[in-house]
Amino acid sequence: MAKTPDNKIKTVFEISAGGVVFKKEDANIFVLLIAVKNSTVWTLPKGLVEKGEDTKRAAIREVKEETGCTGEIIDFIDKVDIWFYLKEKNENTRHHKLIYYYLIKYREGSPKDHDFEVDDVKWFLIDEAIEKATYKRDRLILKKAKDIIYEKPNT
C-alpha cells in the first residue's frame, strides 16, 4: 500500500468481535482457546465484523467458525483497542483495531469442527487458560470473564 500524500504511514481501521466460551462442570469452569501460527499462539476466538453486522452477531459467528461451538451471549466483557504494523507490498501499514469481547455460554458443538484457519481448539480450566494465553490482553479478558461468571453464579 502506498504512503499517504503527506508521507505518513497509512492507517487501516478494523473492528473485530469474539468471545470467551465457557461451560461449567461440577465446580469447574472451562473455557475454549484456539491455537494459531503453527500452534505457537494460544488466543481467544475473534474475527472481523462484516459490513452491516453488529458485534454480537459477529462474535457468535466467529466463535462458531473458529471453535466449532455455539452458545449464547451472557454479557459484554470489554473492548480492547490495539495498534500494530504489518508489512504489505513492501510498505509498513499501521492497523488500529477495536476488539469487542463477549462472555458466551456454551450450548453445543465440538472443537474438532473448527475451521482451517485454526490449528487446534481445546477446553482449559479457566485458571489454566489464563496462564496458557499468549497475549496479555487475552489474559486480562479471561480474568474479567472469570469475575463475571463468579458474580453471576446462575449462568
DSSP single-letter state for residue 38:
T
Q: Which residue has the cell 469447574?
A: 28
Q: Where does residue 90 fall: left (phi above 0), alpha (psi -120 to 50 degrees), or beta otherwise?
A: left
The confidence score (pLDDT) of residue 154 equals 78
Q: What is the pTM of this model?
A: 0.90
**127: CB partners within 8 A, 6+ apart:** 146
Query: Which residues of the chain have a pLDDT value below 50?
Result: 1-5
Domains and CATH numbers, the chain: 15-83+99-151 (3.90.79.10)
Name which of 111, 82, 121 is nearest 98 in CA terms.
82
The confidence score (pLDDT) of residue 78 equals 98
